[in-house]
Structure 1
């Protein structure tokens, strides 16, 4: 899941991290033909001859440069203009590229979509679909179900892998296991001062931000618990499994990240007792400098890309589709940005 974290003012210096995705690694050039910096564009504004799509690098930037070509080539051919791909250092740099006019399309996390809208009047148009959903919940799990479960834990099948795990408080039952929250998250009120709690990185919506917001809504302070900081969803799960923490947080259902052959009793010892409200997946944001009719065309083309080249979409972003962005979901990302900016 893409993580988000924005300071109240994003550093313009991040723009220096942009590097061209073309094979000769040329720097980004300013687009001049037909572009407009006027915030109020109309449908009869001439389209630019070239636009830039910003992505975040994977472990091997060269692979990304090569693999993004089917998407940019598709857009170029269908739009009748040149679409160049660029790699940015991080999501913050992608947002700044949108704001400065160095990029016109960015594929980023949900926090970046909200930040680009708020800072630069950009337009969040699409959200990623993974495991059939464009949103996901943080899950709360424990090795002490007697304390956090109001009912007897029941087995349910995690549909993405077919694995069987224990759930309580109405989170799941049998084959009814959608991962849709909120449900059972008010059981966090049973966390007492001094309880050991495993949190993920502070930039993680599921591992840190959504749980902290929920605790605060229940009148609990994160400073009242004994924080067990870990990185990675597998280590979050194992911290609770091993008894280093009584409660932990991760995305639904992160227990599937653990090799069953190595920890065969994981689904019995670690019980999920609550799901947070739904947080949006990342997606696509478009610069306001693009004419409105061009934004519409780009949105429709990218929305259709899962039918044109599903293999590339899966390889690039580990997703199966893009769907129209949900403004209410983006508002939650905006709320998270506001709460955790500067941390």
Structure 2
């Protein structure tokens, strides 16, 4: 450790679901990091992405698990360094999924089920990457309620907003946006009929708890966005190089353990970590600029 390094580290976890669930699921990770680094590590869940960026900018957090737009914000606004990207099913990218409870309008073919019984249409079941189904996005009419996640979520707002713009739909005034404050909540909004259309990461239907949605047959995926670089881990830029390397290695080591695989799956459905491809995040900045993102 460097002479200026903190004697306690704070790990911030951007919420993708209910905060209390995330805190509980992350407890083994926090304990492992504390032991591996020989420094007490505390975990906390901010209200949203900007909250964790602000915490890192003011020295209140030293490690951040962010979505892709949050990673960009952390670099640009807090001087953080992206050290790792998450991997899922062998991929370091993902996409927005568009969902509906009105397949008669947005499915141009018959919905089909995967092996878990989840429904897809417009070729989304067979497609491993996006974009696909964008002709159905163009069917969204003025005033339609669309469930998003938050205004700073890459898959939950920024990239689908770009698709709306590309379909010549005003992403601010042409629809009735609903911000659900969680990918799971966006699925629930569509399931419960609060919104006929919604977006989330793929496939957020699998993270729902019992009782969240009585009938997932009500939620049909009908389109995907372009591929988005996965979420990942950023560290405070003013930490010593030695501590940054030790933090990075601790995450890699944890992902190689049986407990780590179970915990990371429970927290963010992460299979593995890999070194971050910093150039891959240019597409995130470009998308944010296109829809008027200020960060």
Classify the TM-score, shorter chain. 0.7 to 0.9
User: Is 1:324 aligned to 2:260, yes or no?
Assistant: no
Post-superposition offset of 1:61: 10
User: Is 1:298 aligned to 2:247, yes or no?
Assistant: yes
Is the alpha carbon distance of 1:334 and 1:166 closer, same or farther for their aligned partners in structure 2, counting shifts above 3 Å? same
Partner of 1:216: 165
Aligned residues: 284
Q: Deviations over 1:213-246 (max 9, x none)?
A: 2111222103454426262556644655566644
Q: Secondary structure at the match of 2:270?
A: coil
Q: Secondary structure at the match of 1:59?
A: helix
Is the alpha carbon distance of 1:107 and 1:222 closer, same or farther for their aligned partners in structure 2, counting shifts above 3 Å? closer
Distance 2:26 2:195 in 1: 41
Post-superposition offset of 1:328: 4.2
Post-superposition offset of 1:200: 4.0
Matches within 5 A, 1:4-153: 34-35=3-4, 48=5, 50=7, 52-56=9-13, 58-59=19-20, 67=28, 68-76=30-38, 82=39, 84-85=41-42, 87=44, 89-90=46-47, 91-101=49-59, 103-130=61-88, 133-150=91-108, 152-153=109-110
| TM superposition score normalised by structure 2 | 0.73
Distance 1:263 1:86 in 2: 32
User: Is 1:164 aligned to 2:117, yes or no?
Assistant: yes
Distance 2:59 2:193 in 1: 50
Partner of 1:183: 132
User: Is 1:272 aligned to 2:241, yes or no?
Assistant: no
Post-superposition offset of 1:72: 1.9
Greater C-alpha radius of gyration: 1
Q: Which blocks of at least 5 consecutive residues in structure 1 are unaligned?
A: 1-30, 36-47, 77-81
Post-superposition offset of 1:270: 4.0
Is the alpha carbon distance of 1:287 and 1:254 closer, same or farther for their aligned partners in structure 2, counting shifts above 3 Å? closer
Distance 1:65 1:240 in 2: 28
